[in-house]
Amino acid sequence: MGPQSAPATLPAALYRADPDQWRREREEIFARSWQYFAHESQLAEPRQYVAETLAGYPLIVVRDEAGVLRGFHNVCRHRAGPLADEGGGTCPGQLTCQYHGWVYTLDGRLRAARDFGASEGFDPRDYGLLPVRTEVWRGLVFVTLDPDAAPLANWVAPLERRLAGRDWSALRRVAVRQHSMACNWKTYVENYLEGYHVPLVHAALDAEIDSARYTVTMDGRVAIHEAPLRAPNPVYDGLWAWMWPTLGVNVYGVGLMIERISPTGPGGVRLDYIYLMPPGVEVSDETMALSDVVTAEDVRIVEAVQRNLDAGVYDTGRLSLRHETAVAAFQQFVRAALV
């Protein structure tokens, strides 16, 4: 048998800021997958909450009075007001809409429609908050809008297999860094899924790792990078993984960094780097500085790629079977989600 043929890429039109395409991706991809939402330490006590907008869905997760984690759309059932600003904290045992003051219990029931007046046929029991599923894996709180999504444990099983023996129970959230860029989320994810660009884009990183032996392997919805070091170096050592559609998990010798690739719309991405470390360990300045350099190099190239995709001269290319099989798998997931 001769060599397989290199797969064609997705057409450039799918990467442009098209509102209809973005609506389909939100509904078919982001609403149907598990998204990293928060670290359990942010929600350790009853009444603690975190509010975040993921892929255009404003969400809130709160630990209720009975200790149960509850997820909701951060959207009041009266006229769509917000229950909480983005961020987190401790609420006073109920959620009060900021617009007209409807009050909800922490398990999502409408307790009081403030000064609403008499209304025949208005039953508060019909106007509870819209729930969202939450599950926890190794202290990481995930949400999905899909009542039928497979359990989170199924999704993360390929990661779990590679983490056997590592204990994350004492990790704390020690630092958060954010970076914004002007590109479609798929442009960034694809860059994340191959090491082919390392020798051209990341000179300092390339000096440390053996790019010729850089591989990315798919296992279910998870991609695992293997980048052998030229010489032992704890700053670069670790397990780099990705899970469909937009989660990076970078496991270091101690602790880890969650990389959440959050689309802010069809043409923008915010990266949230969340560093989780054991007690007494901070993220070294060297690790932060290195991460900033590599991120800046990636942002520069993906923004240039996005401008070229937007220019309208390029439609589709071909993917290397040696280096870009994870990109091909990602593009297959996108195709399958959007049929």
Interface residue list for ligand FES (CB under 6 A): 76, 78-81, 97, 99-102
Do 10 and 319 meet the contact criterion of CB atoms below 8 Å apart? no
Q: Does 52 bind Fe ion (CB under 5 A)?
A: no
One-letter amino acid for residue 284 of the chain: S
**Which range touches Fe ion (CB under 5 A), out of 55-63, 97-105, 136-144, 295-303?**
295-303
The distance of closest approach from Cβ of residue 114 to ligand FES in the complex, given in angstroms and rounded to an integer, is 7
Nearer to ligand FES, 76 or 193 (CB): 76
Alpha-carbon distance of 159 to 237, in angstroms, equals: 17
The distance of closest approach from Cβ of residue 308 to Fe ion in the complex, given in angstroms and rounded to an integer, is 17
Report how far apart, in Å, the C-alpha atoms of 240 and of each of 54, 137, 283, 299 are: 23, 17, 17, 18
Alpha-carbon distance of 255 to 173, in angstroms, equals: 10
Nearer to ligand FES, 30 or 102 (CB): 102
The upper half-sphere exposure of residue 95, i.e. CA atoms within 13 Å in the direction of its Cβ, equals 37
The distance of closest approach from Cβ of residue 191 to Fe ion in the complex, given in angstroms and rounded to an integer, is 6
Alpha-carbon distance of 175 to 188, in angstroms, equals: 22
The pairing of strands 110-112 and 215-219 is: unpaired
In whole angstroms, what separates CA 171 from the centre of its chain? 19
Do 141 and 38 meet the contact criterion of CB atoms below 8 Å apart? yes
The distance of closest approach from Cβ of residue 123 to ligand FES in the complex, given in angstroms and rounded to an integer, is 16
Alpha-carbon distance of 44 to 63, in angstroms, equals: 8
The distance of closest approach from Cβ of residue 195 to Fe ion in the complex, given in angstroms and rounded to an integer, is 8
122 binds, among Fe ion, ligand FES, none (CB under 5 to 8 A by kind): none
Q: In a 3-state reduction of DSSP, which class is residue 285?
A: helix
Alpha-carbon distance of 186 to 245, in angstroms, equals: 9
**DSSP string of 170-183, one letter each residue:** T-EEEEEEEEEESS
Do 152 and 137 meet the contact criterion of CB atoms below 8 Å apart? yes
Give the CA radius of gyration of the chain: 22
Nearer to Fe ion, 69 or 258 (CB): 258
Strand order of the β-sheet with 103-104 is 95-96, 103-104, 110-112
The distance of closest approach from Cβ of residue 50 to ligand FES in the complex, given in angstroms and rounded to an integer, is 20
**DSSP string of 210-221, one letter each residue:** -GGG-EEEEETT
Nearer to ligand FES, 47 or 78 (CB): 78
Nearer to ligand FES, 99 or 153 (CB): 99
The distance of closest approach from Cβ of residue 138 to ligand FES in the complex, given in angstroms and rounded to an integer, is 36
**Which range touches Fe ion (CB under 5 A), out of 4-12, 53-61, 229-237, 294-302?**
294-302
298 binds, among Fe ion, ligand FES, none (CB under 5 to 8 A by kind): Fe ion
Largest alpha-carbon pair distance within the chain? Answer: 77
Nearer to ligand FES, 101 or 220 (CB): 101
Nearer to Fe ion, 142 or 330 (CB): 330
259 binds, among ligand FES, Fe ion, none (CB under 5 to 8 A by kind): none
Alpha-carbon distance of 48 to 228, in angstroms, equals: 42
Q: Does 298 bind Fe ion (CB under 5 A)?
A: yes
The distance of closest approach from Cβ of residue 222 to ligand FES in the complex, given in angstroms and rounded to an integer, is 40
81 binds, among Fe ion, ligand FES, none (CB under 5 to 8 A by kind): ligand FES
76 binds, among Fe ion, ligand FES, none (CB under 5 to 8 A by kind): ligand FES
Q: Does 40 bind Fe ion (CB under 5 A)?
A: no
The distance of closest approach from Cβ of residue 115 to Fe ion in the complex, given in angstroms and rounded to an integer, is 55
Nearer to ligand FES, 97 or 249 (CB): 97
**Number of chain residues interacting with Fe ion (CB under 5 A):** 1
Site for Fe ion, rule CB under 5 A: 298
